[in-house]
Chain A
Amino acid sequence: MIGVEEILIRAYNIFFGASVLFLISVGLNIIYGVMKIVNLAHPAFFTLGCYAVAGFGMGIIINIFGSSSITPILIVPPLFAALIVVIASLLIFPLFLFMSGRGDEVQLLLTYGLLLILEDLFRLIWGSEPLRSSQPYELAGSIYIGEYIVPVYNIYVIVSALTVALLLWFFLFKTKQGILIRAASMDIEMTSALGADVRRVLLITVLFAAFLAGLGGGLYIPSGSVMLGMSVELLVLAFVVVVIGGLGSFLGSLIGSFIVSLLRTITLIIFPELELALIYIVAIIILTLKPEGLGGGRKW
């Protein structure tokens, strides 16, 4: 018998899972939307965000703010991670310029190569053991939903992801830069012909996607751990999200993340054995029946 509490707590899990998936996949979608590059290295930016916090960021933050002041310990790590990832993506921006407009095979090889290089860099810098940084998760504590206990930190992740989604929507649809990004995603030559600095638009796109990945990593890491090889696992999940939701669309990331998270929770209740299989089966069905994805067909 499933009561209100049981439904609530599962909804809570679904939103948490969807939030993390959204933060991983949205940057992938933005870069594809504008540059038509399937950036296989994107999840490595998310992982870099995790490493930036767990590897050294949290230590610095605790040194500055102390270990008991909750507000900075919640807010600063994701921003710090985003900053580090933005700096890293600035360094490799020329690579994106080079890839833009070239064939799929060049893009796939280069971005996957980049993912492997980044993974090896992680090993070089942070070693091979999984790292954690759970101070915010512990500091935030837990609350009761009926007789269940749930961690408050997950609520913070959900709220943050929603805020990011709202700001992103506002940015893409209401600001000049956002409109330029969308214009470039529809017809890059026309946008250029109309006098927009396309190079600048591309730079902003790459930095923006990196910012979102870093932010996501910094938000996620207190509730889990970061390890080598994680980028590849995340890549697969992010792909399922965009396949289901639709590649190149902001809305697609939202829909895809929610559906993947929902499917996962439902299979774990009914038949745990099918957890990953069901997600892929749904992805295959959607690819066959509606190749542009559930949120696709429309731009953004």
Chain B
Amino acid sequence: MTVKTGRRDFLKGLIGGLVVGGAVGVAGSEIYRSMIAPPPPPVKEEIPTSPLKAGIQAYLTGGGALWGKPMMQGAVLAIEEINEHGGILGRKINYVVKSETGPEETVREYRTMVLDEKIDFYVGLISSSNTPAVGPVAEELQTLTFFVDGCTDFLFEKAVPNPRFCFRITNIQSADGVSAAVGAIKLLNLMEKDKVRIAHIHPDYAYGRNAHAHMQITFEKVLGRDRVEVVYEAFPGLFKVTDFTPYITEIIASKPDVLASSLWGADVVNFYKQALGYGLFEKMKFVSCIAHAASPAEAVKDFPDGHIAGVHANYFFLYPEWTRYPVNKAFVEKYYRRWGTYPDSPSEGAYVAVYMYKNAVERAYEILGKWPEVDDIIKTLEGMTIYGPAGPIHVRAGTPNKHQCYKDGIVGISKYDPTYGFSILTNPITIPISKITVPEGWEGTPDPKAGTLAYSWISQTWREGELPV
């Protein structure tokens, strides 16, 4: 059956079509225009003029001061710089500094800063004993909290599994042990040895236990379980031991090829000074995941050459090389001018933390047109990447380890450098963080013994006898 269209119908249709088409055309061009043209600027509300207040909490005494002092200096440098340039959207930053000590006292000081000092954001902590204690309090008091270190996997896997207010700048702790072990295997050519005898010495608390577990599983996985023999293990109390000579003797007597260690602060200083007198460094390779990480001018002044220099999988001021990466060069110069010494992992971390806050506030302001609420800042931080002195650093938005920051790790070989007057990290190798840490979205359960997801992830997904990077 054919349908005949009459003249009247045709005209009707033509007019109707033109009307509809015109309307669609007009609407379409409107939509198109709205797609390519910038949105009308949100009506910007006035920014409060009152200054912001930052809370800084760092070890200022005891064996941890080698870390706490540079951390405070990094944060203060960032704040002073920002203030010099007019503050964050015109708001200057004031700051208050409190001491980091044991968990109980540290939490008490944290509460004081939030409740009495009314801080807007917080930058602090070195110890892995303290972040799991302060984390839940930060969530309870709803205060934007940047942990510079206190890197334990336990924080975002168990203590605060679904954080809103806590973020952590340093690489996760398991990555620290894994980086050092992978670095040692590559730099010392351990893959070529038939058998590797390993001794361990770590501080006796969360950090040391974690470093021990992840260095060991990495050696076992990459070298093969049969090729690794543990000959001695010791866990001296953190900053409790001043005389390491009995340990040194036992380590030498057990004749290891490699001494894996996460001693830090004053402990590593006492240990290596005393070990020098016992000739320990001529008899084995010392694999430290952390010795070069903080205050190298004081901590590793005359550290022996040719051993594995770990920087807590974070930062050493010579890398990324200054000529290639101006952000680092600028940071080192500014830090040196301000403090008369070179920056390190904790100072870089604290510096990045302050800038991360600034970036998030400014980005949120661009979108919202008003000074952002804390939740707006949090949303902006999640998934954000910024370029810090150590390179790009990314804030994880999803689980596991939500709100943990990630950047590539670095390991090298120790060498005394007369230009600087202390031992530096040379022959650097970069360890891509994505290859050595649990990725976003991995659904495993923490290893019952080591207590971390990373341990399970390595033992379940790495192929034995193969380097991951």
Binding site for B on A (CB under 8 A): 6, 9-10, 13, 16-17, 20, 119, 123, 128-130, 132, 134, 137-138, 142, 148-151, 153-154, 220, 223-225, 227-230, 233-234, 264-265, 268-269, 272-273, 275-276
CB pair A228–B273 under 8 Å, yes or no, is no
CB pair B234–A151 under 8 Å, yes or no, is no
B231-272 at interface with A (beta carbon < 8 Å): 233-237, 239-240, 242-243, 245-247, 249-250, 252-253, 265-266, 269-270
By secondary structure, the A interface counts as helix
* Choice from B240, B247, B266, B279 contacting A268 with Cβ under 8 Å: B247
A160, B130: Cα distance in complex, Å: 42
Q: Enumerate chain A residues within 8 angstroms of B243, measured Cβ to Cβ.
A: 16-17, 20, 223-224
With both chains docked as a complex, state the minimum distance between the C-beta of A104 and any C-beta of chain B, in angstroms.
Answer: 26
CB pair B65–A268 under 8 Å, yes or no, is no
**Which of B56-64, B166-174, B325-333, B357-365 interfaces with chain A?**
B56-64
Q: Is B380 an interface residue (CB 8 A)?
A: no
A142, B68: Cα distance in complex, Å: 34
Across the A-B interface, give the 8 residue pairs with the lowest CB-CB distance, nearest first. A151-B277, A149-B279, A229-B62, A128-B65, A272-B234, A228-B61, A130-B266, A268-B246
CB pair B273–A268 under 8 Å, yes or no, is no
Q: Is B69 an interface residue (CB 8 A)?
A: yes
CB pair B274–A223 under 8 Å, yes or no, is yes
**CB-CB nearest in chain A for B265:** A130
Q: Is B66 an interface residue (CB 8 A)?
A: yes
CB pair B65–A132 under 8 Å, yes or no, is no
Q: Is B298 an interface residue (CB 8 A)?
A: yes
Q: Enumerate chain B residues within 8 angstroms of A269, measured Cβ to Cβ.
A: 250
Given A233-B239, A272-B233, A272-B234, A129:B65 Cβ within 8 A: yes
**CB-CB nearest in chain B for A269:** B250
Q: Is B452 an interface residue (CB 8 A)?
A: no
With both chains docked as a complex, state the minimum distance between the C-beta of B98 and any C-beta of chain A, in angstroms.
Answer: 14
Give me 11 other A-B pairs in contact (C-beta within 8 A), A224-B273, A229-B62, A268-B246 excluded.
A123-B60, A128-B69, A129-B295, A132-B269, A142-B278, A148-B249, A223-B273, A228-B62, A228-B65, A230-B242, A268-B247
Q: Enumerate chain B residues within 8 angstroms of A268, measured Cβ to Cβ.
A: 234, 246-247, 250
CB pair B249–A10 under 8 Å, yes or no, is yes
**CB-CB nearest in chain B for A119:** B61
| Of A10, A224, A276, most B-chain CB atoms within 10 Å | A224
Which bucket holds chain B's interface residue count? 35 or more
**CB-CB nearest in chain B for A144:** B279
B354-374 at interface with A (beta carbon < 8 Å): none
Q: Enumerate chain A residues within 8 angstroms of B69, measured Cβ to Cβ.
A: 128-129
Given A142-B277, A150-B277, A272-B235, A128:B61 Cβ within 8 A: yes
**CB-CB nearest in chain B for A153:** B277
With both chains docked as a complex, state the minimum distance between the C-beta of B55 and any C-beta of chain A, in angstroms.
Answer: 19
Q: Enumerate chain A residues within 8 angstroms of B266, measured Cβ to Cβ.
A: 130, 225, 227
**CB-CB nearest in chain A for B240:** A233
Q: Enumerate chain A residues within 8 angstroms of B298, measured Cβ to Cβ.
A: 129-130
CB pair B278–A224 under 8 Å, yes or no, is no
A16, B277: Cα distance in complex, Å: 14
**CB-CB nearest in chain B for A272:** B234
CB pair B245–A130 under 8 Å, yes or no, is no
Given A227-B65, A229-B61, A17:B245 Cβ within 8 A: yes
With both chains docked as a complex, state the minimum distance between the C-beta of A58 and any C-beta of chain B, in angstroms.
Answer: 14
A121, B295: Cα distance in complex, Å: 23
A259, B280: Cα distance in complex, Å: 27
**CB-CB nearest in chain B for A6:** B253
With both chains docked as a complex, state the minimum distance between the C-beta of B126 and any C-beta of chain A, in angstroms.
Answer: 13
* Choice from A16, A129, A132, A234 contacting B245 with Cβ under 8 Å: A16
**CB-CB nearest in chain B for A232:** B62
A119, B61: Cα distance in complex, Å: 10
Q: Enumerate chain A residues within 8 angstroms of B66, measured Cβ to Cβ.
A: 129-130
CB pair B269–A225 under 8 Å, yes or no, is yes
| Of A137, A220, A275, A276, most B-chain CB atoms within 10 Å | A275
Instruction: List 22 contacting pairs A-B, 8 Å CB cutoff, sorted by A.
Output: A10-B246, A13-B246, A128-B61, A129-B295, A129-B298, A130-B265, A130-B266, A149-B277, A149-B278, A151-B277, A151-B278, A223-B243, A224-B242, A224-B243, A224-B274, A225-B269, A227-B266, A228-B65, A233-B239, A272-B235, A275-B236, A276-B237
